Amino acid sequence: MEALTPMAIGGLLFAIFFLLLLIGSPIMVALGVGTMACFLILDIDLSVMIEKAFAQLTAFPLMALPAFVLAGALMEASGISRRLVNIAEAMVGPIPGGLAISTVLSCVFFGAISGSGPATTAAVGMLMIPAMRRRGYDPAYAAATTATAGGIGIIIPPSIPMVIYGVTGQVSISKMFMSGFIPGIIIATALCVVHYMKCRDLSSGLQWSAGHIAHTIRNGFWSIMAPTIILGGIYAGWFTPTEAAIVAIFYTVFVGIFIHKELKLRAFMSSLNTTTWLTGRVLVLVFTATAFGYLLTSYKIPNEIASWVLGFTDNVYLVWTFVVIFLLFLGMFMETLAIIMLVTPVLLPIMTAYGVDPIHFGLVLICCCGIGFSTPPLGENMFIASGISDQPLEHISIKALPMVAANITAVVLLVIFPQLVILLPNMMDATP
């Protein structure tokens, strides 16, 4: 088997992987079995697969994953997310389409503390979908609004997918976090414009009140401080993203018990249970995907693919077009973290060969994954919103089309103007 070329090994690896997916195997099984089969064919000791994967799982940056998951769950249980939604509604609720715009703004706020698209959709949707229905919004439109805005949860830092990309691609997680600010605001603005245009004739029935806005801000002061402390501490150099996640947990517990007095023992235990289940599921995927990526890089398969693509075209925008379409397609069928673990070892060398900044590529990758949350048949956010609104997935999907189009337009803008992504990370390098 030593005569196998890198492209032949890559073809065999992906053939086994996709075959297992077609017969219904979970993606973590398809990754693991495909890698094991190639190890056996190439006569490589399987212990190497275990060693490489274990080394990745014990990486210090990856410790941020369970910590941010737990912080997000605790913030919902302690009333922080509800107060952020109240602030958003008080600020923009009275304008036409205000509740839909409030939903987008709430997802921005909650995304800044949860780092998860589905968690953002669930937390905001439980509050905003019933409110929008009471104000006369179409239930399917309300669900689509929440599902599409929930994708901002992985773009606005902190972001669990950014942690995974940083570990997989050996890219600074702090810079990835910083890169998400401007794109997150651009995507949120695009969604708000869509809602304003489509809901101009729908009055919210609310009135602006300086007293009410001041009251919600005062009531939500400690909620606003959560992302301020987390992100401010990272960018000020007080602690790493991993340490920031631990700080977020202690801050949330303190606020939930002693200030809001809403974090009870049962909710705390439920948060631990949710964190254990989600983290275990993700780490098994990381384990198998790491071994998969090790086999790819060991035989320089991404380099071979990059050489082939470079010989095909030297137009970086044409390559970007193929990459974005490919990522959007994968987002319809695969989980976000699986996409990141699978495509990063393959596509990152190709894009860097074209002179694309790894931060720029990673952010566009995560934005495409955020769109995948609201595109069926997988569309996790769609299923969550469907469950909350009790609306069929098909109706929600149709209503979501203008929002998805706005998201894609924003991604195209980020591809054409990379400075929108790398401006703030570059400023980190320039800061003495």
Query: Tell me, what amino acid is at 248?
Result: A
Position 136 scores a pLDDT of 82
Q: Which residue has the tokens 């320089």?
A: 300
The DSSP symbol for 200 reads T
Instruction: Tell how far CA 37 is from the center of its chain.
Output: 31
Half-sphere exposure of 144 (CA within 13 A, CB side): 24
CA dihedral 343, 345, 350, 352 (to 10 degrees): 120
CA angle 215, 231, 413 (to 5 degrees): 95
Query: DSSP for 276-306?
Result: HHHHHHHHHHHHHHHHHHHHHHHTTHHHHHH
Position 205 scores a pLDDT of 61
Position 60 scores a pLDDT of 66
- Phi and psi at residue 74, to the nearest 5°: -70, -35
Position 399 scores a pLDDT of 93
Task: Provide CB contacts within 8 A for 409, sequence distance 6+.
Answer: 190
Q: Is the whole-model pTM more than 0.85?
A: no
- The answer to whether 105 touches 93, Cβ cutoff 8 Å, is no
> What is the full per-residue pLDDT of the chain (432 aa) written as tens digits?
456 777 788 888 889 988 988 888 887 888 889 889 988 888 888 888 788 777 767 776 677 778 887 887 888 788 887 888 788 878 876 777 788 888 898 888 887 777 778 878 887 887 788 888 887 889 999 999 999 999 998 999 888 899 899 988 989 998 999 999 999 999 999 999 999 898 877 665 666 778 888 888 899 899 888 888 887 887 777 888 778 888 888 999 999 999 999 999 999 999 898 888 877 877 787 788 778 878 877 777 777 776 777 677 778 999 999 899 989 988 887 778 888 988 898 899 889 989 999 999 999 999 999 998 888 877 788 888 888 888 988 899 899 999 999 999 999 999 999 999 999 998 876 555
Pairwise CA distance, residues 337 & 28, whole Å: 11
Q: Where are the domains of the chain?
A: 1-44, 58-430
Position 1 scores a pLDDT of 45
Which helix (H) or strand (E) segment holds residue 135: the answer is: none
Position 202 scores a pLDDT of 67
Pairwise CA distance, residues 27 & 229, whole Å: 36
Q: Which residue has the tokens 């700080």?
A: 247
Which helix (H) or strand (E) segment holds residue 49: the answer is: helix 46-57
Cis peptide before 158 (omega within 30 of 0): yes
Using CB atoms within 10 Å of the CB of residue 408, give its burial: 0 to 12 exposed, 13 to 18 middle, 19+ buried.
middle
Position 166 scores a pLDDT of 92
Rounded to a whole number, what is the distance in angstroms from the first to the last CA of the chain? 53
Task: Provide CB contacts within 8 A for 55, sequence distance 6+.
Answer: none
Four-residue CA torsion sign, 318, 323, 326, 327: negative
